[in-house]
């Protein structure tokens, strides 16, 4: 997994300082990871903004409560399978991602059966990306 091949397209601004601090912590550990913050609106406009940011060579991964729930090791394996592909994880705003955008995604991922605010989902995703990287590198961060 190469963090420079991963972008997060996230709707909404970060308002909580502890979330900003957490993201900064993991950003240091994932050099090259890019987070693009998009203006929140209604789901249709948010989907248009995500599509506008999506690069031609990126595979869209939609974070969705209907998505696949994976243990951390399986998430790492999924990322490894995608190898050198460029990935764009989309996190919707308060109302989630538009249904059409979800169907356009190559993969739908759920971080949990629970529902989280978009700010917290962003932090959880970045932590899981870091965890996946350490699993793939054989590092000590992930313990069973």
Q: What is the pLDDT of residue 7?
A: 97
Tokens 């601004």 label which residue? 13
Contact 130/22 with Cβ under 8 angstroms? Answer: no
Domains of the chain with CATH codes: 3-137 (3.40.1280.10)
The 10s digit of each residue's pLDDT in 51-102 is 999 999 999 999 999 999 999 999 999 999 988 899 999 999 989 999 999 9
Half-sphere exposure (Cβ direction) of 8: Cα atoms closer than 13 Å: 26
Residue 28 has pLDDT above 90, yes or no: yes
Taking residues 33-56, what's their average pLDDT?
96
Give the orientation angle of helix 72-81 with respect to helix 118-137, to 10 degrees: 70
d(CA 28, CA 106): 28
Secondary structure of the chain as H, E, C letters: CCHHHEEEEEECCCCCHHHHHHHHHHHHHCCCCEEEEECCCCHHHHHHHHHHHCCCCEEEEEEEEEEEECCHHHHHHHHHHCCCCEEEEEECECCECCHHHHHHCCEEEECCCCCCCHHHHHHHHHHHHHHHHHHHHCCCCCCC
Say how many Å lie between the first and final Cα of the chain, rounded: 21
Report residue 144's pLDDT band, with 50, 70 and 90 as the boundaries. low
Report residue 141's pLDDT band, with 50, 70 and 90 as the boundaries. confident
Q: What is the pLDDT of residue 126?
A: 97
Q: Rounded mean pLDDT of the chain? A: 94
């Amino acid at each position: 997994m190469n963090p420079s091949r991963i972008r997060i397209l996230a709707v909404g601004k970060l308002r909580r300082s502890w979330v900003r601090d957490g993201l900064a912590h993991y950003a240091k550990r994932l050099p090259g990871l890019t987070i693009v913050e998009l203006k929140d609106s209604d789901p249709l406009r948010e989907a248009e903004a995500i599509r506008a940011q999506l690069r031609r060579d990126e595979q869209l991964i939609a974070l969705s409560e209907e998505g696949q729930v994976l243990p951390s090791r399986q998430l790492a394996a999924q990322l490894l399978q995608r190898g050198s592909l460029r990935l764009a994880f989309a996190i919707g705003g308060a109302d989630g991602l538009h249904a059409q955008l979800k169907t356009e995604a190559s993969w739908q991922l759920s971080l949990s059966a629970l529902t989280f605010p978009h700010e917290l989902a962003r932090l959880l995703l970045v932590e899981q990306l870091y965890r996946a990287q350490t699993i793939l590198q054989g590092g000590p961060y992930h313990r069973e």
